[in-house]
């Protein structure tokens, strides 16, 4: 499988990755996106490997049945592992997040959207979310929308449905007490160019510890490809 021009020769030959991950990495048109995908999945495997007490390459990933049609393309899960180990992965424009928990969890990171994206996606939101966003000044609307959408995708990932469930059904706006019962949805600080959130199936608010992984230490030979 030939590498993209300008990328590390070993990008698609990482022994920690499985065949599905290698094929997916090779499918990206932009070299930087391919490198981010590989780095994100290597980080996921390192984090899960520590949690499970195995080498990153021995982490077996598969797909849960799709909640809509039952096909083998639902959320990523650990193959043959205890259901007490749940995880979620998201990456966007140079940033990746990995969440690991003992309950259902979803995480999402979004690059700040443009005005056109906001205009196209606004009608898909819950009516009360749309009402909140229309009150925002034009200058802060992209950031407010990006944060809301990160909450929404994190929650839908936690449910296991993804966007197979209509974004209009659930309120994830600024009024915390109105968010879905039985879930804690927390905004995560991700710098000025991204918005991020994590959703946990926990009925009471819980603290969400965040740890930063050094890409240079984790995969030093790939760090330059996404910088």
Burial class (CB in 10 A: 0-12, 13-18, 19+), 117: middle
pLDDT tens string 30-75: 888 888 899 899 999 999 999 999 999 999 998 888 877 877 778 8
Structural domains counted in the chain: 1
pLDDT tens digits, 92-110: 988 899 999 999 999 999 9
**pLDDT score, position 83:** 62
Q: What residues contact residue 64 under an 8 Å CB cut-off, 6+ apart?
A: 74, 75, 76, 77, 160
Which residue segment(s) compose the domain that 188 sits in? 84-205
CATH number at residue 193: 3.90.470.20
With tokens 């990206």, the residue in question is 28
**Contact criterion met (CB below 8 Å) for 86 and 64:** no
Q: Which residues of the chain, if any, have pLDDT below 70?
A: 1-12, 81-83, 214-227
């Amino acid at each position: 499988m030939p590498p993209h021009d300008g990328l590390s020769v070993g990008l698609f030959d990482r022994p920690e990755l499985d065949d599905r991950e290698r094929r997916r990495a090779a499918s990206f048109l932009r070299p930087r996106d391919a490198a981010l995908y590989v780095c994100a999945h290597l980080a996921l495997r390192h984090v899960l490997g520590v949690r499970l007490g195995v080498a990153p390459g021995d982490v077996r990933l598969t797909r849960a049945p799709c909640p809509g049609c039952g096909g083998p393309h639902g959320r990523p899960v650990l193959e043959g592992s205890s259901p007490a180990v749940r995880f979620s992965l998201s990456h966007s424009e140079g940033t990746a997040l990995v969440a690991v928990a003992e309950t259902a969890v979803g995480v999402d990171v979004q690059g700040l959207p443009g005005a056109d994206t906001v205009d196209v996606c606004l009608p898909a939101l819950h009516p009360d979310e749309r009402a909140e966003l229309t009150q925002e000044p034009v200058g802060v609307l992209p950031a407010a929308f990006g944060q809301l959408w990160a909450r929404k995708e994190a929650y839908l990932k936690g449910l296991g449905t993804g966007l197979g469930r209509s974004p209009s059904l659930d309120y994830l706006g600024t009024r915390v007490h109105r968010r879905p019962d039985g879930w804690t949805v927390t905004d995560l600080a991700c710098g000025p160019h991204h918005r991020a959130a994590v959703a946990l199936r926990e009925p009471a608010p819980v603290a969400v510890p965040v740890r930063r992984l050094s890409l240079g230490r984790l995969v030093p030979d790939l760090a330059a490809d996404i910088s």
